[in-house]
Amino acid sequence: MITSTKKPPTVLITGASQGIGAAIAKIFAKEIPGVRLALVARNIGKLSAVARACAKLLAGRGAAVEVFACDVADEASVTALAAAVEKRFGVVDVLINNAGKFEGAPFGEMSVAQFDGLVAANLRSVFLMSRAFVPAMAKRGRGDVFNMSSIAGLDAYPGGAGYCAAKFGVTGLSKVMRAELKAKGVRVCCVYPGATWSPSWEGSGVAAERIMPATDIARAFLDVYRLGRNTVVEEIVLRPQLGDL
């Protein structure tokens, strides 16, 4: 656990109701004294369960956790979210764009609706959330943004037309954000995880040693955040030791 005389950060995490997002919320709650967590997802029931777990970790430490239901691919929803978060917490210090979804189909069989849905959930969401919260960081001269890509944003594979296109887009958007924001005190990190445990792997038949625990990915986010302000990790690639997923 670290100690600091600085004002505890406000950390906003999208897709925080399960998987990596939930793990990130819990590790920040455990490790950052006084942290204020804004947890965002569409499933308010699951999100509230994560919030309760975080609240137990934060108990007696002068911190706060709040849940916000939002479709982060919808412009109006994001605008409303930004107003609600500002009213509750003020300026966001750390934005973790983790929300997304996976759906596979061969290029020739993927429908336009499937493609548009994947681009919206994985790429449009990053753009909308960043546009809503990053300008205040730049104005203040300090902030951290984590954009969740995937190894599918580095290497294409059969059946990944929509998902790979969206995650390659996150890669490109992150590079643009880094170029535009580095002189304004805002650090931008693009994260490329391989196979990581989430409910979607249940019943897959894939051996546990071929899948990373979400807590390990979450730890990487925390460690990067803790670095001194003169250092930025622009990209992180995290893969199972066997390296084939």
Indicate which residue of 157, 163, 192, 225 is catalytic.
Answer: 163
Task: Output phi, psi for 152, to 5 deg.
Answer: -70, -10
Q: In what order do the strands lie in the sheet with 143-148?
A: 64-69, 36-41, 10-14, 94-97, 143-148, 186-193, 235-238
Residue count of the chain, please give it: 245
158 to 29, 104, 192, 198, 217: CA distances (angstroms): 39, 9, 18, 22, 25
Residue found by looking up tokens 């997304």 in the block = 100
Is 163 catalytic? The answer is yes
* 97: three-class secondary structure by DSSP: strand
> Which residues are catalytically annotated?
163
